[in-house]
Amino acid sequence: MKQQTGTVSEPPQDQKTFDCIIIGAGHNGLASGVVLARNGQRVLVLEKNNYVGGMGGTREILKGCRNEVGASCLFPLSGEIKHYFDFESHGVELLPLPVMAVNLTGATGRPLIFFKNPIKLSFNILRSFGPGAMLGFIRLMKFCEYPARVLDRFSARKAPRKLEDIIAEATTPQQREHLELAFKGSAMDIIDKFFPDPVKHRELRASMAFAAVQATYKGPYTPGSGLCLIYTMAQEGSEGLMQRVKGGIGRLSECLAQQITDLGGEVRLKQPVSHILLEKGRAVGVELKDGSRIHATTIISNLDKQATFNGLLAGHTLANEDQQKVDAFTHRGAFVHMLFKLKGLPSYSPHLDKLNRIRGARFGGAMVLDPEQLQASYEACLRGELPEQIPLAFQIPTVVDSTLAPSGCHTASAYGFYFPCEAEKAQRGKLRDRMAEKIIDHICLHMPDFRELITDQAIFSSDHFASMQGVTNGDWTHGLLHPDQMIGERCLVEGTGHTTPVENLYLCGASCHPGPGVTFLPGYNCAHEIMAASMAQPKSNPDAGATSAGPAPTAHAA
């Protein structure tokens, strides 16, 4: 696709003037929009779909249901983000989960129950798996603290540093060794230190291994998979509890879109951008698919790097070094996502009958494999084959939120991993359908009546995510959690988090630090970086009763 450019002397076809145009109404794009609008910027958000939220959106897929295709649970938010956006005062209701997850290993494995109450969680691990496992879990959490802190997953308005610099700056050889293991070792190098017994610690080993590979396209024995384990285990103070959003996680994005509108900005749906307009190497506007053009001082892309530079800026030549950085990012969507409408609530098998009597235990969790099986699943995926059994995350959100389905019905979802996404495209449809059956088979191992309760279902592979959301290779992480593309390596211009080699063009999505997850940090940080670059002074927020988080950061802050 040849890149077309506009000229600043041409009158824009859209007669309204804007300071900022944001491409994509995902949660990060909307977060940027709210910050900029609160600080006096005229904001326009353009979204190609007919709903906001992107991969954190909620809409009807199965008749009468509110479905989430992408993110589904709200994980920890930084204190600054919670205060700034103050979702609950804007009508969002957060639902606590008495049981955040139940992880199941094999037909006879003991359930690993993650209670919201930390005392119940600790006691259950002690009672079910013994004092050695309890001590191992405490020691693992302690091990993760230091690398998680330097990973800066929850730090607002701070430019990320390169991983090698962080390791080199460690003050002692022991600290450097600690970081080398955490960021470059395999997940099993870490897990073996704390859960060494494959029999006594089986279920904990399997659950931790699964936590380490969902966003990596690696196996748990593959070097570099340890970083994803650290990323997953990172905590934000006392806010480390998983919650549901009533009405679906898309309510968060709907809330942000409303705030932008209330502040005088615009969010336009069904407005696909075909390319970014340039004038003398500077971004000056966008052209929509219908040929209309809109100009603005600043252009912000919520897409990943390759979708932005090789798609929206196709035909524009970057410097070789910059283009190499863009092309080096690894994107693989090795998953299948399934949605189900059920005519009743499924029950656990007789082996797991006690879970049927624990409040909230049927909400969801993971159905995992032993680490050796998990590694074999990854290697099968590399060969273009389906794993023998599908490791998966599952959820029945109507256990805590009945508004998501018609009366008497339930919704369920499952993410099955190690879909052979690099198989020939002509084969991927058949592989997807076979994998869907394998996912249902695995669920039925633990919930035998699940299949007979299904009244409708939908299947999405990474190919669907690529077309629906414009993400490269269907990769919801916008760049897999590999050591060579995290923290400072996620940035294109050193010392900044969101600035690009194209003047007036910024990135605000999960392709930026700290990466994937519904944290709002990439969008929030991007807006502050833009304001710092323009020497804008943040203004107070009269609507939410909060102020922007202090003065504009320095030019090198994210």
* Predicted pLDDT at 333: 94
Q: Residues 184, 176: contact at Cβ < 8 Å?
A: no
Mean pLDDT score, 113-126: 92
Which secondary structure element, helix H or strand E, spans residue 342, and what is its range? Answer: strand 335-342
Positive or negative, the Cα torsion across 380, 386, 390, 392? Answer: positive
Q: Name the phi and psi angles at 35, rounded to 5.
A: -60, -45
pLDDT in tens, 42-64: 999 999 999 999 999 999 999 99
Q: Name the phi and psi angles at 181, rounded to 5.
A: -65, -45
Return the higher-pLDDT residue of 155 and 434.
434
Beta-sheet strands, E only, within 49-187? 58-59, 67-68, 94-96, 99-105, 112-115
| Residue written as token pair 């999405």 | 460
Alpha-carbon distances, residue 487 vs 7, 8, 89, 303, 481 (angstroms): 36, 36, 32, 18, 10
* Predicted pLDDT at 76: 84
Mean pLDDT score, 25-44: 98
Q: Is the pLDDT of residue 554 over 50?
A: no
pLDDT in tens, 361-388: 999 999 999 999 999 999 999 999 999 9
pLDDT-based confidence at 237, cuts 50/70/90?
Answer: low
* Predicted pLDDT at 235: 76
* Predicted pLDDT at 239: 52
Q: Is the pLDDT of residue 557 over 50?
A: no
Express as a percent the part of the chain with pLDDT over 70: 92
Mean pLDDT score, 209-236: 92
By DSSP bridging, strand 392-395 and strand 410-417 are antiparallel
Please state which of the ranges 207-216, 439-448, 529-538 shows the lowest mean pLDDT. Answer: 529-538
* Predicted pLDDT at 138: 93
Beta-sheet strands, E only, within 182-281? 243-245, 266-268, 273-279
Nearest one of 554, 531, 532 to 38, comparing CA atoms:
531
* Predicted pLDDT at 541: 47
Q: Residues 482, 510: contact at Cβ < 8 Å?
A: no
d(C-alpha 268, C-alpha 287), whole Å: 14
* Predicted pLDDT at 171: 94
Positive or negative, the Cα torsion across 522, 523, 528, 531? Answer: positive
| Residue written as token pair 């320095």 | 554
Q: Is the pLDDT of residue 115 over 60?
A: yes
Q: Is the pLDDT of residue 536 over 80?
A: no
Q: Residues 514, 21: contact at Cβ < 8 Å?
A: no
Q: Name the phi and psi angles at 147, rounded to 5.
A: -65, -35
pLDDT-based confidence at 534, cuts 50/70/90?
Answer: confident
pLDDT in tens, 307-336: 999 999 999 999 999 999 999 999 999 999
pLDDT in tens, 246-260: 999 999 999 999 999
- In CATH terms, the fold of domain 18-58+75-89+247-329+480-533 is FAD/NAD(P)-binding domain (3.50.50)
Q: Output Rg (C-alpha) for the chain, integer angstroms.
A: 23
* Predicted pLDDT at 8: 34
d(C-alpha 373, C-alpha 265), whole Å: 51
Residue 266's DSSP bridge partners are: 44
pLDDT in tens, 449-493: 999 999 999 999 999 999 999 999 999 999 999 999 999 999 999
Mean pLDDT score of the chain: 91
Per-domain boundaries in the chain: 18-58+75-89+247-329+480-533
Q: What is the pTM of this model?
A: 0.91
